[in-house]
A and B are shown apart, each in its own frame.
Chain A
Amino acid sequence: MGKIIILDEQTANQIAAGEVVEGPASVAKELVENAVDAGASQVQVEIRNGGVKLIRVTDNGSGMERDDVELAFERHATSKIRKITDLNDIRSMGFRGEALASIASVSRLEMITRTSEEIAGVKVAIEGGHILSVEETGCPAGTTFLVRDLFFNTPARYKFLKKDVTEGARVADVMERLALAHPDVSIQLRSNGEIVMHTPGNGDLASTVYSLYGKETAGSLLKLSHIHEGIAVSGFVGRPSIARGNRGRQTVLMNGRFIQNRSVTAALDEAFKTLLMTRQFAFAVLVLDIPPMRVDVNVHPAKLEVRFSEEGAVFSAVHGAVRNALMAGSLAGLLAPVETLEAGKPPLAPFAVRIPVDGEAEQQHYVPPLTALPPDAGKSIASGGTRPEDKHRVEPEQTESCTDGLPGKGEAYVETSADKPLRTAEPQPRIRVATHNDFPDTSVRHPSFLEMRIVGQVFDAYLVLQHLDEMLLLDQHAAHERIRFEDLKWSLASGMTNSQQLMQPIRLEMSAMEYDQAVQSFEDLHRIGFELETFGRDTILVRAIPTTFDGGLTGPELASILSDWPRESNRRQEGISEELLHRISCKGAIKANRMMGGEEIRALLERLSNLENPYTCVHGRPILLRFPRRELEKRFKRIV
């Protein structure tokens, strides 16, 4: 007996109506999703002329029973949900019973299907929504759709189709994302007879990425593994080096469906901020598992957009996941690329540890597979849990650290009480004495910097270094800028924004407009440790500067920072305008065009070794370029 019923009217109405079919790509998407829903392990898609002439989708799924065949093309005919409450627990791709009806009404469609129980299959031919014929036929188990001449009966829509190549590229793009969403299904796409993609369907996301994007991308993946408030985030992000100028390689998958969601992309951008240049977008395959009850997938006709009941939690989950992966990735040393695709070696199972954080709900911390970390990485990151930033930070996701739970480290860092006097028995002076818990751990996080051999300096701007089998070039200005930026952030977070008084105030004379702008930033500047005063209507006196600065900020530099920066940029870190932090870090940093002595270089490397991120400057430009020995040997034609 057939499985398909017609939804009752109320249910049908509550389901968002909409244009399902925009072009070949949406047809292919609906058909492949149906195949996946039908339990197919292999789906072959073939298009001609970008899919405008023909789209053929063949699957080895369940097939349809005879009784269901005609019903399947009726509107709101679905086997996937029965009543509106089912909408709250959608696990299948389809649920509206709308796709086939829509596609059939604007094309010449043929479907051949057979279940494994039946001996004979059925073949249906429909044109513009009218069934031309239904007949028995011999065929393999599974279903094949042939959609020809899309929009043949709606010239207005036909006109809107783009060039064949464009439509074809859209199909390929959708197929890529579907393939990522279903690594357990082998998806093949042929365009005009040529295979353009073919995924293994072995259930492994990394091999799917490899088959879609190639070796370089697959070799630059950082694995995600994080749970936050019941939202699990897995998948991969790519190292900054494989970022692109558009979002084409960002795929967000939620409960097996690829979606678009602003919070998710915002969280991704935020986590990559300062690692990427503006207008660059990270590679990402974000796999979100969210209890279906907490998502509304039914807000967009193509089911692309979703609405989360708690956007904030999703943001935190994604941000935390990506941030952790990046940290772990840089710890393992961008200098020694992490093998994410290590075949054969099963990674240690991730494990969760519960750490109660002062006044906060218990949170689960997932540890990424340990194979990605060098033996000493645990030491340096484990202490991340007690960094004072954690207590001061506003964004909730930053209270997490993926590595709090490394073996043997957990207990030591649970206690986060601060402000405890050293010896309580003694009469306490009024001066606050902080315990070491107030201060961040500055142990070495990137030991490779300490192992580097200093070869020299070129153009008074770049340091030449050697580490193991690599030659490295380091941009001295970018490096120093990053150091200053992290120092500033650190001092803000730890409350160590002390102010070195000046013998003579620095006078900043400015135009009335500049002055007005500058006065607006006073509060931020005070928090950083500047002490400023207005003097008349056009002069600002700087009486003290943050102790984090080695005096390396001159009057003109300060004036230029204050007077001409776009105040619209409202992003803030540690409660301070991010742009201001960037500018301050940049302005006082060692200039390119400065000779540096060995001592000075050594000190710079030492500082880099305990930065959070010593690999990109605050604007996302790289600090370090690597030239593996092999690369040089190749260029010198010593090897081929």
Chain B
Amino acid sequence: MKAIIQKQQLLDAIVMVQKAVMQKATLPILEGIYLEAGEQLTLVGNCFDLGIACTADADIREKGAIVIQARMFGEIIRRLPDALISIETANGKVKIECMNTVFDIKGMDAESYPLPPAYQEDTVVTLSQGTFREMIHQTLFAVSQDDNRRIMTGILLETKDGGMSLVALDGFRMAVSRMLLKQNDAMRVVIPGRNMSEILKILNNSEEEVRIVKTGSMVAFEMKNCRIVSKTIDGEFMNYHGYIPTQYETVVVLNRREFEDSLERASLISSDDRRYPVRLHVTGDQMIVFSTAEMGSSKENIGVRNEGGDLQIGFNPKFLIDALKVIPDDNIKLSFNSQIGPAIINPIEGERYLFLILPVRIKA
């Protein structure tokens, strides 16, 4: 093969596919990037759980394919001057040329590279990259890190009733992000959180489309120059609707920023590792945020609009902050039922997101 390509374009593609290349594999070929000169230059990284293929515009002089050790390839390209790069193979070797520099490195046989399988399209959902990106951002933090409960280490993607939702939960809290969808196939898959965070980095904040294709035990995300194939997690995702209360005792409307800042301040006096709860005390149109920790205590008043009864309740402040951070709105609705029932954060209008957080019962 022989292809000529702009350095930056090549580097961008390498960085993307590298996310799916194993750092340390038993088979050396799995540490490689697959390069194919066809109509365009295609790069592939694949670690079975996740496969990423990118295409880049290139001047293809001769078709063909090769696999190159990913880390070295990336380092070489990164350090080359910003100019045209020529990649040429001969007798299993790869010649990388750029201006006055020539590298001659060993390649690996493209035939033995395990490319992600071709797939059939079972169901398809299409939305803008920007929207999908925000939805992942709003839910990813609530994914469980506990490998013992695999299903919770993934994000549920579900289309239903003219909309699409992403749902993540870790047993203490839940994040739901929703959007309206005109045309849609019914889809319900659980995608590993780890893969979702890689996908998040690849998505751009634009109106460009991403096609989500479910196929067997895989789900693919197709974008203009990039295709990502992720394994799905088997098993039944929790019936999350069941956790959401249908009515509330206490509903307060408050400024998101103010609340977040006050929680951040309350956390200043405690170290992360010792989970000091923060106490919220809703009385009339006031919410008092208390915290006590090893360095002292703090107390702060926030003005709220209280549409229900008074209440005292404790939380892990991190759980609240995590949710507040990903909300784009100025004002939010915070609803409670009891000291041990979940709190819900909603937009004032609509259902674009919902965060459910279980409280901490404070002794003494």
The stretch of A193-201, A270-278, A308-316, A425-433 that contacts the partner chain: A425-433
* A430-B312, A435-B297, A544-B361 known; A498-B277 Cβ under 8 A: yes
Pair A429/B281 contact, Cβ less than 8 Å: yes
Q: For residue A431, which residues in chain B have a CB less than 8 angstroms away from its CB?
A: 279, 281, 290, 312
Does the CB pair B360–A439 fall under 8 Å? no
Tell me if A495 and B172 are in contact (CB < 8 A): no
B residues less than 8 Å from A495 (CB atoms): 363-364
Interface check B271, CB cutoff 8 A: yes
Question: Are B295 and A436 touching (Cβ within 8 A)?
Answer: yes
Smallest CB separation, B354 vs chain A (Å): 13
Residue of A nearest to B297 (CB): A433
Instruction: Give B257-280 interface residues, CB cut-off 8 Å to A.
Output: 271-277, 279
Of residues B149, B172, B316, which shows the largest number of chain A Cβ atoms within 10 Å of its Cβ? B172
Is B352 among interface residues, defined by CB-CB distance under 8 A? Answer: no
Residue of A nearest to B341 (CB): A501
Judged by a CB distance under 8 angstroms, whether A293 is at the interface is: no
Q: Which residue of A lies closest to B275 (CB)?
A: A547
- In the bound complex, residues from chain B placing their C-beta under 8 Å from that of A440 are 294
- Cα–Cα, bound, A433→B312 (Å): 13
A518-561, CB < 8 A from B:
529, 531, 544, 547-548, 550-552, 554, 556
Contact with B along A587-604 (1 / 0, CB 8 A): 000000000000000010
Report yes or no: A429 in contact with B288, Cβ–Cβ below 8 A: yes
Q: Do A503 and B169 touch (CB < 8 A)?
A: yes
A441 in contact with B297 (CB, 8 Å): no
Contact (Cβ within 8 A) B358 A433:
no
A551–B172 touching, CB < 8 Å: yes
Beta-carbon contact of A433 and B290 below 8 Å: yes
Q: Nearest Cβ in chain B — how far from A541, in angstroms?
A: 14
A500 within 8 A of B: yes
Which secondary structure dominates chain B's binding surface? loop
User: Would you call A389 an interface residue if the criterion is a C-beta within 8 Å of the partner chain's C-beta atoms?
Assistant: no
Query: CA–CA, A441 to B316, complex, Å?
Result: 21
* Min distance, Cβ B77 to any Cβ of chain A, angstroms: 26
Q: Provided the pairs A422-B299, A431-B290 are in contact, do residues A503 and B342 lie with their beta carbons within 8 angstroms?
A: yes
Inter-chain contacts of B145 with A (CB < 8 A): 551
Nearest opposing residue in chain A for B149, CB measure: A554
B154 to chain A, nearest CB (A): 16
Known: A429-B288, A441-B294, A547-B277. A500 touches B358 (CB 8 A): yes
B322: min CB distance to chain A, Å:
14
Contact yes or no, B172 A498, CB < 8 A: no
Say whether, besides A502-B172, A547-B316, A551-B171, A432 and B146 are in contact (CB < 8 Å): no
Output the least CB separation between B320 and chain A (Å): 13
Q: Which residues of A contact B274 (CB under 8 A)?
A: 442, 487, 490, 496, 548
* Residues in B whose Cβ lies below 8 Å from that of A442: 271, 274, 294
- Smallest CB–CB gap between B151 and chain A, Å? 12
- In the assembled complex, the Cα of A547 lies from the Cα of B361 at a distance in Å of 9
A422 vs B342: C-alpha distance when bound (angstroms): 30
Chain A CB within 8 A of B340 CB? yes
Residues in B neighbouring A529, C-beta threshold 8 A = 363
Is B292 part of the binding interface, using a Cβ–Cβ cutoff of 8 Å? yes
B356 contacts A503, CB within 8 Å?
Answer: yes
**In the assembled complex, how far is the CB of residue A608 from the closest CB belonging to chain B, in whole angstroms?**
11
Chain A residues near B172: list those with CB within 8 A. Answer: 500-503, 551
Q: A433-B292, A501-B340, A502-B358 are in contact. Are A496 and B171 (CB under 8 A)?
A: no
A5 to B54, CA, bound (A): 108
Complex: A433 Cα to B296 Cα, angstroms: 10
Q: How many Å from the CB of A388 to the closest CB on chain B?
A: 10
* CB of B174 within 8 Å of the partner chain: yes
Closest beta carbon of chain B to A623's beta carbon, Å: 17
Determine how close the nearest CB of chain B comes to the CB of A502; give it in whole angstroms. 6
Q: Does A497 count as interface, using CB distance less than 8 angstroms?
A: yes
Q: B170 touching A551 by the CB < 8 A rule? A: yes
Contact with A along B132-151 (1 / 0, CB 8 A): 00000000000011101100
The answer, yes or no, to whether B314 is at the interface (CB within 8 Å) is: yes
Q: With A442-B294, A503-B174, A551-B171 in contact, is A432–B364 under 8 Å at CB?
A: yes
Q: Does B294 contact A439, Cβ atoms closer than 8 Å?
A: yes
Q: What separation, in Å, do the CA atoms of A288 and B6 have in the docked complex?
A: 83
Q: Which of A548-586 contact B (CB under 8 A)?
A: 548, 550-552, 554, 556
How many residues of A sit at the interface, in one of the four size bands? 35 or more
Which has the most chain B C-beta neighbours within 10 Å: A544, A556, A603?
A: A544
State whether A501 and B294 are in contact (beta carbons under 8 Å apart), knowing that A551-B146, A603-B273 are contacts in the complex.
Answer: no
Check if B238 is an interface residue, CB within 8 A of chain A. yes
Q: Does A397 contact B (CB under 8 A)?
A: no
B362 within 8 A of A: yes
Residue numbers in B under 8 Å from A439 (CB-CB): 292-295
Query: How far is B340's CA from A382's CA once the two chains are assembled, in angstroms?
Result: 39
Task: Report which residue of B276, B292, B295 has the largest number of chain A beta carbons within 10 angstroms of its beta carbon.
Answer: B292
B243 touches A (CB below 8 Å): yes
Cα A432 to Cα B281 with chains together (Å): 12
Give B358's nearest chain A residue, CB to CB.
Answer: A501
Q: Is the CB of B292 within 8 A of A548?
A: no
Smallest CB-CB separation from B283: which chain A residue? A429
Asked if A165 is at the interface (CB within 8 A of a chain B CB), the reply is no
The 0/1 profile, CB within 8 Å of A marked 1, for residues 50-76 of chain B is 000000000000000000000000000
A residues within 8 A CB of B364? 432, 495
Neighbouring A residues of B275 by C-beta, 8 Å: 498, 500, 547-548, 550
Question: Known contacts being A431-B279, A434-B292, A498-B360, is A554 close to B312, with CB within 8 Å?
Answer: no
B314 touches A498 (CB 8 A): yes
Q: Which A residues lie within 8 Å of B45 (CB)?
A: none
Let me know if A547 and B360 touch, CB within 8 A. yes
Residues 345-364 of B, flagged 1 when their CB comes within 8 A of A and 0 if not, give 00000000000101111111
> What is the chain A residue whose CB lies nearest that of B243?
A503
A427 to chain B, nearest CB (A): 11
Q: Determine how close the nearest CB of chain B comes to the CB of A390; give it in whole angstroms.
A: 15
Q: Is A280 an interface residue (CB 8 A)?
A: no
CB neighbours (8 Å) of A531 from chain B are 361
A422, B146: Cβ atoms closer than 8 Å? no
Q: Which of A438, A500, A502, A554 meets B292, CB within 8 Å? A: A438
Q: Is A300 located at the chain interface by the 8 A CB criterion?
A: no
- In the assembled complex, the CB of B143 is this many whole angstroms from the nearest CB of chain A, namely 12
Contacts of A499 in B (CB 8 A): 360-361, 363
Over the window 290-317 of chain B, the binary record of Cβ atoms lying under 8 Å from chain A Cβ atoms (1 yes, 0 no) is 1011111101000000000000101010
Contacts of B297 in A (CB 8 A): 422, 433-436
In the complex, what distance in Å separates the CA atom of A548 from the CA atom of B316?
11
CA distance A441 to B290 in the complex (A): 20
CB distance from B246 to the nearest CB of A (A): 16
Residues of B contacting A438 in the complex (Cβ-Cβ under 8 angstroms): 292
Residue A607 at the B interface, CB < 8 A?
yes
Which of A431, A531, A550, A603: most chain B CB closer than 10 A? A431
| Residue of A434, A496, A552, A556 with most partner-chain B CB within 10 A | A496
B16 CB, min distance to chain A CBs, angstroms: 22
Give the Cβ gap from B343 to chain A, nearest Cβ, in Å: 10
- Contacts A436-B295, A554-B149 hold; do A500 and B363 have CB atoms under 8 A apart? no
| Residues of B with C-beta under 8 A to A500 | 172, 275, 316, 358, 360
- Among A430, A490, A547, A554, the residue within 8 A (CB) of B146 is A554
Query: Would you give the 0/1 interface string for A429-466, flagging 1 where the beta carbon is closer than 8 Å to chain B?
Result: 11111111011111000000000000000000000000
Q: Across chains A and B, which 7 residue pairs bring their CB atoms closest together, nearest first?
A: A501-B358, A547-B275, A439-B294, A499-B361, A554-B148, A436-B296, A434-B292
5 A-B contacts, Cβ less than 8 Å apart? A497-B363, A501-B360, A502-B172, A504-B171, A504-B243
Give the A-binding residues of B (Cβ under 8 A). Answer: 144-146, 148-149, 169-174, 238, 243, 271-277, 279, 281, 283, 288, 290, 292-297, 299, 312, 314, 316, 340, 342, 356, 358-364
**New contact pairs (19) apart from A436-B296, A441-B294, CB-CB < 8 Å:** A429-B281, A429-B283, A431-B279, A431-B281, A431-B290, A487-B273, A495-B363, A495-B364, A501-B342, A501-B359, A544-B340, A544-B361, A547-B275, A547-B277, A547-B360, A554-B149, A603-B272, A603-B273, A607-B273
